[in-house]
Structure 1
């Protein structure tokens, strides 16, 4: 678990003009970009960067929709009620972005590398590298938005809640947690390098092999059900709206191998929200994960501020 705010993964360089700060040059995943010192009209192109902006008090004028919801994740409440939808993470609507006349666009090289030049023609654009340590990404985006101090305060709130959860859990914080995700046509075992893996590591949980590797996830079949055992088993389902993700989950949960898992027989398998644990990957999702863990372990946890 981090005890201090992470330095930016790419760094932020400030240029002086006389005795006052000029527009800043941000070094990011695609190079360097000159951005306003205090951007006001922000467009965010990933759910993770959207959550960062909200956490430091900036409501984007536009954002890509959540992977499910109408169009935003339920765990965001009404924070996005005034935000214009600009497509999805996989299909950004460039015309919708342009109409908003933003002064800064924030996205991800993993999602937006191919449209980076088009985005940059609309407004200054900076990109995080992609999936990684969400706290590093959070600090970078907060700095790019000119809110590094607010970002540090928000991460301190998260760190304090992690510490409170660790204390409440006692020795149980080192239990082995297995995480299984069902998407249409595929089963995944989630690993330590994923968003959820970072949060679980912050709390102190261990992961069963082969989930204790640095990757994002590994695709498996039903023959790997015995590898899903642990002190606790967390399972989640991503569905595109056609029910196929849930169909796969139902098939696996009805498999005799699943029923034979010690963790299932002891009643320690739990279903959680896919947006919170996998697809959002941001600040509010991390807090919601801590809430889920407190519920699963039946311990008290102070609410997030």
Structure 2
């Protein structure tokens, strides 16, 4: 125990990358022993009580949490990377495996020899009874869609950390830092952010040609729809950090309120006539076929010539929409290969 390039990703390669990433984390993070009560134990251990503000209310955490429940996306990865395996995590019925665990998280937990957390359903309502049975010391949901009513209910069970701004809009590095604060490991959380930045910067250095090419990350969702993710949205942010240049036309589009994206409509597909690479995802193979058959979509030059990086692998889609200590090693090698194949089609 611890104190168009379509992709069907290789499980063995991904497990190897995750194992290597976990080893580096273990070497880099000293963390805090759960029963450490030494006063002034060091900046990585922080000091308690700690108060974390959010848009829904404050969470006052009296001592270092031992039993952690996570809701929303990405938080379980950071909790694990900081040395604690959560006792409960939100089920992922779309990007998860057949049991509902996100595969990069499951691999990390099993490799560490820890018990898998209990899965918590959140649709149509959060399974509060399951959370009660887990007896958490803290509930972490800084990247989630908690309502005020849900926050109040959960806060009656344990200190609950929600988002600092709008729902589902917490920056990836802020999310890591909030979790580090909640666990009394702010210094370690900063190290995780630095490690992620360094890993992605290394990709840019190793692939200098990426800087010569513009990109836009589009989303379609359904026939007739079209939108684009802004550069601060994780899907686009990870590509920028890997060295690609987001097309300036993206920033010119009005941002849809409450999101980090712009809803455009398929009639504006020609905005991307000069974009070198188009990134997108599909919910499944049938959706891919329908969307790519639309004349306006198919006429986007990058799509037409094959400079399209796309996938309907739901686990990869989910992982690449997050920037966490576990998702980056899960997606980055595949992404590099996909990008090279799209560049070759220019």
1:74 positional shift: 2.6
* Match among 257, 276, 281 for residue 319 of structure 2: 276
Report the Cα offset of residue 103 of structure 1: 0.5
Deviations 1:14-34 (A, max 9, x none): xxxxx7654223333334322
Gapped regions of structure 1 (runs ≥ 5): 1-18, 300-305
SS in 2 for 1:75: helix
What are the residue-to-residue correspondences of 1:23-42 with 2, within 5 Å? 23-42=49-68
- For residues 22-62 of structure 1, give each alpha carbon's deviation from its aligned partner in whole angstroms, at most 9, with x where no partner exists: 42233333343221432110000112212221222221100
Q: Distance in 1 between matches of 2:286 and 2:226?
A: 12
Partner residue of 2:266 out of 222, 245, 249: 222
Q: Which residue of 1 aligns with 2:21?
A: none
Q: Distance in 2 between matches of 1:109 and 1:222?
A: 29
Q: How far 1:95 sits from its partner (Å)? A: 0.8
Match runs of 1:6-17 below 5 Å: none
SS of residue in 1 equivalent to 2:156: helix
Q: Would the aligned equivalents of 1:182 and 1:248 in 2 still touch at CA under 8 Å?
A: no
- In the TM superposition, what are the counterparts of 1:125-204 in structure 2 within 5 Å? 125-129=160-164, 130-184=168-222, 186-204=225-243
Report the alpha carbon displacement of residue 67 of structure 1 after superposing the two structures with TM.
4.7
**Helix, strand or coil for the counterpart of 1:92?**
coil
Determine if contact 2:48/2:63 at 8 Å carries over to the other structure: yes
Distance in 2 separating the partners of 1:232 and 1:32: 43
Whichever structure has more strand as a proportion of its residues is: 1
| Correspondent of 2:280 among 226, 231, 235 | 235
1:47·1:66 contact (CA, 8 Å) conserved in 2? no
**How far has the Cα of 1:277 moved from its partner?**
2.6
Greater RCO structure (CA 8 Å; 6+ sep): 2
1:88 is paired with a residue whose SS is: coil
Q: Deviation per CA, 1:247-293, whole angstroms, max 9, x where unpaired?
A: 44322211233443322343211213321233x45442344443333
CA distance in 1, matches of 2:179, 2:142: 11
State how many pairs are aligned. 274
Which of 44, 47, 51 is 2:73 aligned to?
Answer: 47
Aligned partner of 2:344 in structure 1 is none
The TM-score with structure 1 as length reference comes to 0.78
Aligned to 1:100: 134
* Higher deviation after alignment, 200-209 or 126-135: 200-209
> CA 1:220/1:289 → structure 2, altered by over 3 Å: closer, same or farther?
farther
Q: CA deviation at 1:73?
A: 2.1
1:206-228 CA-partner distances (Å, limit 9, x unpaired): 22354236652223433233234
